[in-house]
Amino acid sequence: MKAAYKEKKWAFVSDYARIDVVYKYGGIYMDTDVELVKELDSFLNDRMYCGWEMRDPLLDKLGRSYENSVAFGLGFGAEKGHPALKKILDLYDRISFYNEDGTLNLIACPHYQTEILKEYGLDDTRRTYQHLDAGIVVYEEEVFSPKSPLTGKTTITNKTVSIHQFSMTWINAKERKLQNIEWNLTERFGYGFAHTVTKIISLPYRVEKKITKIVKKSQ
């Protein structure tokens, strides 16, 4: 966490901090862009709970690879001192924030969280309700993640408790604006058209970003 703080990667700092706080005191955590549509009382009986992150079926049609993962940012809760949280914290303590070539290790936290929960019996080949060892309950994506990060479309069911709005505060304002443009165009014209137009619009920004990266690397 110290390395992430030094590099001003605040999202990675919070990844560790939220787990550390819930481990020490117990409780429930949600990202600030999570909208509640139902009460959370029913989850208080779980020793620990979390949920699958949305994977849009469109990814399969586009032939894009992805991994199924749980995401604590959607909302999770645990009793004080839960062993799974301790294992995740220990894993973070062992992992270097720097790759061998000096670049930053920016693997997102859901990857590590999922790997640890697999030790408790999680089957990551299916995004279904699963009751794991140590009283861990993993809920379907429609419960905490009904909004597609790919298209921005939200599909609420009678199981939906909250909506992760994907405000993406970890990226800069320009990139967030481009993402919102793509979502708005997708709603009106479909993803294929929206993605193509957004790539064209973002070309000057992407070129500038690449040049800046090359210049920094050469210094």
Same domain for 36 and 124?
yes
Note the Cα 157 to chain centre separation in Å: 21
Range of the domain at 63: 2-164
Same domain for 115 and 19?
yes
Q: Residue 26: what are its φ and ψ, rounded to 5°?
A: 75, 160
Note the Cα 142 to chain centre separation in Å: 15
- pLDDT tens across 2-41, in order? 766 666 666 677 888 999 999 999 999 999 999 999 999 9
Given a contact cutoff of 8 angstroms between Cβ atoms, the answer to whether 144 and 162 are in contact is: yes
Give how far Cα 193 sits from Cα of 56, 151, 182, 197, Å.
Answer: 17, 12, 9, 6
Same domain for 107 and 155?
yes
The number of domains in the chain is 2
Same domain for 202 and 141?
no
Mark which of 164, 187, 208 sits at the end of a domain.
164
How crowded is residue 4: how many other Cβ atoms within 10 Å of its Cβ? 20
Same domain for 112 and 132?
yes
- pLDDT tens across 131-173, in order? 999 999 999 999 999 999 889 999 999 999 999 998 877 678 8
The pTM of this model reads 0.84
Beta-strand pair 34-36/48-51: unpaired
Same domain for 96 and 9?
yes
Same domain for 145 and 128?
yes
Same domain for 198 and 104?
no
